[in-house]
Amino acid sequence: MYSGIAISYRDSTRSFAQKTLLPRVTDSFRNERFDKSVYKEMGDLGILGPTISGYGCPGASYVAYGLIASELERVDSAYRSAYSVQSSLVMHPINIFGTEYQKSKWLPGLAKGDIIGCFGLTEPDHGSDPAGMETSARKDTTGNWVLNGSKLWITSSPIADVAIVWAKDVSTKKVRGFIVDTKLPGVSCPSIEGKFSLRASITGGIVLEDVVVSEKESLLPLVEGMKGPFSCLNSARLGIAFGVMGAARACIEQARMYTLDRHQFNKPIAANQFIQKKLSDALTEISLGELAAFRACQLRDEGMLHSNVISMIKRNNCGKALAIARECRDMLGGNGIIDEYHVIRHMLNLEAVNTYEGTHDIHALIIGRSITGLSAF
């Protein structure tokens, strides 16, 4: 079903994820710690920015991108999030909307994992309605841009070297994208502590206080309006749709092993009809979700994918993966809440993945608008 190149990326990522990431994920989740060396390890593997050609990027395909995401999320959503943000939310806009100077400056380092990026769209008061953003950009008398505002729930911001920041031009009221070096005066990236989901990922905010950036260095000149951030999100959502199926598959594999080993009433609990029905339902939904994600990535490679389809598979696959994780946790009984069995960690992660980059309900409204022609926002 998959091309030889895509299978090669899948297999190399699976080996890396199982041998390198899985042994340390439990400790990272328990202690709410992300090892930034993961970016360099992904860079060494050659999987960052897989759909980009040149600048040290693989130039593979969206199918390869999805398969990589699935193998990373099979270990933990945190690692897939780091991969998706770097590849789709940071490298993608620079490649599509940036100048040759900006691409040459940033993409090689991002591809190697030597530079860590983050994506600043969500704000404290604007999540599902990003067009209402309050972060502002204005030109000063020297022709530079001055940025003010704050972003929240930003993956990797506390450790990021560069941020893609979306702000509203005060003169035109149109949204513009900026490449912002996080070491600039006026930029701070505080961490969010106490999460019960994605604990192996570092999350924070971006605070911009009279941050001065030059047009040549910072402004992404080839896009304005919400088309820019939505293009990035749609790319990342393909990774999510494929990735969550990896998490669901990890859960069903654990549940299968556990129910075969666990004996009650003198037989494996896997012999129970209820258990077999739950496993059958889960495997069916995973198979359908993987097929839908594969076809969507295939259409994206062919330039034929509509954004409504992306909303559909992101919504469906996230919701189904979360439901599967909950069922698998139940099949493990009391042991289902212990992190050494991994299922509870996937379940908690998927609670967040079901919400970010478009909530379950918001994507339903996007699909509903495409069906009826009427906006319910």
Q: Is 317 exposed, middle or buried (0-12, 13-18, 19+ CB in 10 A)?
A: buried
231, HSE (Cβ side, Cα atoms, 13 Å) = 17
| Catalytic residue selected from 32, 71, 327, 357 | 357
**Backbone φ/ψ region at 317: left (φ over 0), alpha (ψ -120 to 50), beta:** alpha
Report d(CA 91, CA 280) in Å as an integer. Answer: 39
Report d(CA 24, CA 215) in Å as an integer. Answer: 42
Report d(CA 309, CA 296) in Å as an integer. Answer: 7
Report the Cα 91 to chain-centroid distance in Å.
13
* Contact predicate 232/119, CB 8 Å: yes
Identify the helix (H) or strand (E) that includes residue 320.
helix 307-331
Structure tokens at 208: 């911009």
Residue 302 designated active-site: no
Report d(CA 98, CA 55) in Å as an integer. Answer: 13
Instruction: State the SS3 of 287-306.
Output: HHHHHHHHHHHHHHHCCCCC
Q: Is 101 exposed, middle or buried (0-12, 13-18, 19+ CB in 10 A)?
A: exposed
Report the Cα 271 to chain-centroid distance in Å.
37
Structure tokens at 192: 């969010």
Which residues are CB-neighbours of 309 under 8 A, at least 6 positions away? 296, 299
Question: Could you list the active site residues?
Answer: 357
